[in-house]
Amino acid sequence: MKTRRPWWYLAWSCLMVIGAAQAEPPRELEGVPIEDTAQVAGTKLVLNGASVQKRGFFKTNTCALYLTERRHTLDEVVKLAGPKRVHLVMLRDVKGFLIARQFLNDFAASATEAEAQALTAEVEAIAAGYAKIDMLHKGDVVLIDWVPQEGIVASLNGHPMGPAHDNESLWDVSLRPVMGPLAPRELREHLLGLN
């Protein structure tokens, strides 16, 4: 003999099915969770895009970009008012001096001659900060924030990596290796939300 389910049981079952269909699995790259939002200087930012960064054949870190509003070109990202964040999570151990060297190479490839002359002191200070780190380990978190009236603020696992650099030109040039025309296409398109 068939038993009839009460109406509330059927309603509850429908709600569970709808909820399961709407729930998305957590976003992740290479096992690293990618949050949909971030808080910088008291402002809620939304995920613009995320990708895996490579050096040669090796996957070195995840890279996620957070903005107050989504943007799809580097120029729009740079001109957007308010805080911004680049969130990196290391996927392998990398010596600090290698990161310093790559930072200098990226800067040299991305900056104009005038920018290179104007930003040399700040770029060398940032590279020296990386070089002082013996090793960045798998799972380490590097946050590079743009904070209005303060500038570029970087931290490693929650600890400041040096003084802030209040220079919008430096912020612009620093983003070019991952979002500029010379950046790897997949990395650029993913960060700019084009793919």
Residue with tokens 């010596």, as numbered in its chain: 95
Q: What is the pLDDT of residue 56?
A: 85
Question: Taking a C-beta distance cutoff of 8 angstroms, is the pair 119, 173 a contact?
Answer: yes
pTM of the predicted model as reported, rounded to 2 decimal places: 0.85
One-character DSSP codes across 65-134: EEESS--SSHHHHHH--S-EEEEEEESS-EEHHHHHHHHHHHHHHHS-HHHHHHHHHHHHHHHHHHHT-S
Integer Cα distance of 188 and 178 in angstroms:
6
Local confidence pLDDT in tens for the 195 residues of the chain:
555 555 444 444 544 444 444 444 458 999 999 999 999 999 999 999 999 999 888 999 999 999 999 999 999 999 999 999 999 999 999 999 999 999 999 999 999 999 999 999 999 999 999 999 999 999 999 999 999 999 999 999 999 998 999 999 999 999 999 999 999 999 999 999 997
Residue 159, SS3?
strand
Closest CA to 173 of 130, 113, 88, 132: 113
Q: What is the pLDDT of residue 195?
A: 75
Q: How many residues does the chain have?
A: 195
Closest CA to 78 of 163, 154, 178, 158: 178
Integer Cα distance of 33 and 27 in angstroms:
6
> What is the dihedral sign for C-alpha 129, 132, 138, 141?
negative
**What stretch of H or E contains 44?**
strand 43-55
> What is the dihedral sign for C-alpha 8, 9, 12, 18?
negative
Question: Taking a C-beta distance cutoff of 8 angstroms, is the pair 50, 65 a contact?
Answer: yes
How far does CA 123 lie from the centroid of its chain? 19
